[in-house]
Amino acid sequence: HYQESEKIYGVDGREEMIKNLEEMWELSRVMFSLFVAIGIVFGFSIIYIASFITLSERSRELASMRVIGMTSKEVFSVIGFEQWFLAFFGIILGIPTATALMNAFAAEYSTDMYTMPSGISLEIYGIGLMATIVSISVAQRFALKKVRSLSLVEVLRERE
């Protein structure tokens, strides 16, 4: 009998194993969805904070640009270009990094019983790209409001 054997631990039915794996994958999907949501919040926070820091550090220079006759939109375009430039290269570097991390994750968690897929679909890359674009656009709306509210009088009054 297999029940008394030291080499056989147990025998499971196919349906029971499939049910257990589906339950485990459902839990994994929930966890991955939570990770994605946290990643989106972190991504937006990083973009927003970087925008806020840029404005805070350069408020004097930006206000000086306004004093010499540039409009708020022209001043803002300087910061906006910088953010889109950084985002472009961040995405270019992020795609191979994400692919390598996914392949490493899949290799680590694949077993004899199941294999984790190692590819990232174009749909996922598209979602990431859209989340980045939306985050930058929202952060730039706040930045534009801040540029419009720069105090030109304070810049003219201050001395080096």
pLDDT given for residue 134 in this prediction: 92
Segments making up each domain of the chain, as ranges = 40-157
pLDDT given for residue 42 in this prediction: 92
Q: What is the mean pLDDT of the chain?
A: 84
Q: How confident is the model at residue 118 (pLDDT cuts 50, 70, 90)?
A: confident
Tokens 């961040």 sit on residue: 90
pTM of the predicted model as reported, rounded to 2 decimal places: 0.69
> Reduced to 3 states, what is the DSSP secondary structure of residue 145?
helix
| Amino acid occupying residue 47 | I
Contacts of 90 (CB under 8 A, 6+ apart): 132
Q: Is the pLDDT of residue 159 over 60?
A: no
Q: What is the pLDDT of residues 4-61, one digit of tens each?
A: 777 777 677 888 888 888 888 888 889 988 998 898 899 889 988 988 898 888 888 8
Q: Please give the share of the chain, as a percent, with pLDDT higher than 90.
A: 16
pLDDT given for residue 158 in this prediction: 66
pLDDT greater at residue 93 or residue 151: 93
pLDDT given for residue 96 in this prediction: 93
pLDDT given for residue 92 in this prediction: 94
Contacts of 84 (CB under 8 A, 6+ apart): 136
Q: How confident is the model at residue 155 (pLDDT cuts 50, 70, 90)?
A: low
Q: Are 48 and 146 in contact (CB under 8 A)?
A: no
